[in-house]
Structure 1
Amino acid sequence: MTTTTPVPTPALPSPTATPAPAVLRSEARRALALARAEVTLLLRNRTALFTALTMPLLFVGLYATLPGGLGGPAAVTGLVTGSALLFVVHYTLVTSVVARREQHTLKRLYTSPARPATVLVGMTLPLVVLLVLQVLLGLAATAVLTGLGGLPRPGLLVPAVLLGAAVWAVLALVCSVVTRSVESAQLSTLPLILVALLFSGLSLPLGLLPEALRVLAQLTPMFPVVDLVALAFGPARVTTEVVVGGALVRAVLVDVAVLVGWLVGGLALVRRSFRWEPRR
């Protein structure tokens, strides 16, 4: 009698997770593809694009024609940066998200291979690039018209622009939750825009406010941006307080901490309440 020895079944290779760098590269490609599509839509709206790119030059031209120059190059650069954050990044992103949500485009993107965060980043990137272009145009025009040389602390413009863009983009996503239509965005965005204009030094000197309101103003999402821009040009803050040495470092750290706090809080709200489907 013969016996057969069973042949062992070869073990199947265990599935391996995709390496993290490969995932990041894949998501980055998807975000850039979405950003290119957003740029195409932006370029088709030539009126809005022309307005966005000429707005810094108009602000600087106004600064150059007024006695005293709106308080100096720091003030006009803060005005350009703040206005771009409010109306190019924040308001435009609210209307874009709401329009795509009501047209079911967001829902389709949500079910695509791209991660939800990748979709939102891809929609935001072109607006951030446009913001940076506006700030650079404003700086160049200011330098030509005023003979402005190098900035004492140009590095402070980086957190002012990039952190400011992140905060106001996240606030736009939060605002889109309560915005029913593109038309109603004019009302839903108004409270934050008014707070930014009144309590950041963009339209109202903070010295006119009572002490308690000046303290609260420093916790609003636009004040740190304008303050960092002012400190990039000199030792005077938006509040007209002059800071040097350790006081300067503390002022910068507080401004950055306020922006990070708004960013973290905004992301938490987006994660909990952001809508991908049309409102009922």
Structure 2
Amino acid sequence: MKQRTGTEDARGGTDTATHTGVRHVPHGGGGGGERHAGMSTQTWRLLMGMPSRASLRRMGSLGRAELTLLLRNRTALFMSLAMPVGMVLVSYVSAGNLESTGTSLGVGEMVLTAGIGFVLLLVAYFNPITAYVARREERVLKRLRTGEVTDAEILTGTALPSLALALAQVALLVISGALILDVGMPDQPVVLVVAVLLGIVMMVALAAVTAAFTKTVESAQITSLPFFMLSAVASGLFVPLDGLPDGVANVFRALPMTPVVELVRGGWLGGMTGGEIRLALVLAVVWTGLSVFAVRRWFRWDPRQ
């Protein structure tokens, strides 16, 4: 399709649209109306507060378009649906072996904590990486930025299907834990909900950071591997870090995923003091803030190929 120039759009007063169905109103001035590289004040307010109805509509349109693409991508569907189930089964086998070593946690408690952690890693972290990289290389992100959609709306809308899928899988794990694994309902449900929501926001922000250093969709499996392995091994997904030497445990507690895992476990089983909850929340918020800053500083909107 032949693209209009900024002058032609200004005279005609028409909107342009991408395949996502989001209508675009090019900015005046500067030829094609290319947006400034940094995020605007409006975008920052969106990250820190509640979006407007218009913003929700735009993100909803992007999310629906991304969901259509996700349903057509068999690899992404496998990673979103089959891999979390597989990791839960692996967690069940591993938890049985760990229980025999004398850990204070039961099989169900370890499986549910690990299951929620793997949902966050596989669905809320890995899926958005591939989506961001694919849309960037297709120049979709660059075209979207020439319209009224803000940077935060683009990133959030692109990740919406993964976020919804992660929430649905966590809810399924909670119900399964209560009915099948005989773990019972969460002891502190508010803490559990906050932990999951904060973990999802953090994972999406870290996904955008990882996407900035990922050249192709295929290489996303490589660039995401260090954080995935570090989180799987060192964040206490299977057993609490209290059983490790103090020096090692303190280092592991400073990792991004660890406070989320501790809050999930504390929200489900209880036992965390108010001070421990506040410390984990502060650490998780700090990592989320650093991730958002890194996105604003290094995220690439132009194709790398």
Quickly name the TM-score band, shorter chain normalised.
0.7 to 0.9
Query: How many Å apart are 1:50 and its aligned residue?
Result: 6.0
Aligned partners of 1:54, 1:141: CA distance in 2, in Å? 16
Q: Which amino acid aligns with 2:280?
A: D
1:17 is matched with which residue? Answer: none
Q: Partner residue of 2:69?
A: 41
Q: How far has the Cα of 1:250 moved from its partner?
A: 0.8
Aligned length: 250
Structure 1: unaligned runs, 5 residues or longer: 1-19, 237-242
**Could you say which residue in structure 2 is the equivalent of 1:271?**
296
Matched, 1:213 2:237: no
Residues 170 and 266 in structure 1, CA contact (< 8 A), matched pair in contact too:
yes
Quote the residue 2:182 is aligned against. Answer: 147
Q: CA deviation at 1:91?
A: 1.1
CA distance in 1, matches of 2:240, 2:278: 23
> What does 1:76-95 correspond to in 2, within 5 Å?
76-95=111-130
| Number of the residue aligned with 1:191 | 226
Deviates more, 1:63-72 or 1:169-178: 63-72
Question: Structure 1's 57 and 198: CA in aligned 2 closer, same or farther, altered over 3 A?
Answer: closer
Residue 125 of structure 1 and its aligned partner are, at CA, apart by 1.6
Deviation readout 1:201-257 (Å, 9 max, x if unpaired) = 125763564321211111111111111111122245xxxxxx4xxxx1111111111
Task: State whether residues 30 and 118 of structure 1, in contact with CA within 8 Å, keep that contact through their aligned partners in structure 2.
Answer: yes
Corresponding residue to 2:58 among 16, 30, 52 = 30
Per the alignment, do residues 187 and 215 of structure 1 end up closer, same or farther by CA in structure 2, a change over 3 Å counting?
same
Q: CA deviation at 1:40?
A: 1.4
Deviates more, 1:50-59 or 1:165-174: 50-59
User: Superposition pairs for residues 247-262 of structure 1, below 5 Å?
Assistant: 248-262=273-287
Name the CA distance, whole Å, in 2 between partners of 1:51 and 1:97: 16
Give the deviation of 1:181 after TM superposition: 1.1
For 1:57 and 1:198, the matched residues in 2 are separated by 18
Which residue number corresponds to residue 92 of structure 2?
Answer: 63
| Alignment partners' CA distance in 1, 2:203 and 2:91 | 26
- TM-score when normalising by structure 2: 0.74
The DSSP-based 3-state class of the residue aligned with 1:202 is coil
- Whichever residue aligns with residue 301 of structure 2, its letter is W
Comparing 254-263 with 136-145, greater Cα deviation is found at 136-145
1:140 deviates by: 1.6
Paired residue type of 1:115 = T
Shift of 1:60: 6.1
Alpha-carbon distance in 2 for matches of 1:61, 1:192: 19
Q: 2:150 aligns with which of 106, 110, 115?
A: 115
**Offset at residue 275 of structure 1 (A):** 0.7
Q: Distance in 1 between matches of 2:184 and 2:64?
A: 35
Q: Shift of residue 84 of structure 1? A: 1.1
Q: Deviations over 1:106-154 (max 9, x none)?
A: 1111112211111111011211111111111112222222334332111
Whole-angstrom distance in 2 between the partners of 1:139 and 1:177: 34
- Structure 1 residues 30 and 162: CA distance shift in structure 2, 3 A: same
CA distance change for structure 1 residues 252 and 232 in 2, over 3 Å: closer, same or farther? Answer: same
**Which residue does the alignment assign to 2:258?**
223
Which stretches of structure 1, 4 residues or longer, exceed 6 Å deviation after superposition? none
Superposition deviation, residue 57 in structure 1:
5.2
SS of 2:180's equivalent in the other structure is: helix
2:294 partner amino acid: L
SS in 1 for 2:302: coil
Identity of aligned residues (%): 38
TM-superposition CA deviations, 1:48-68 (whole Å, max 9, x none):
436634555552696389474
User: Residues 191 and 80 (structure 1 numbering): CA distance in 2 closer, same or farther, change over 3 Å?
Assistant: same
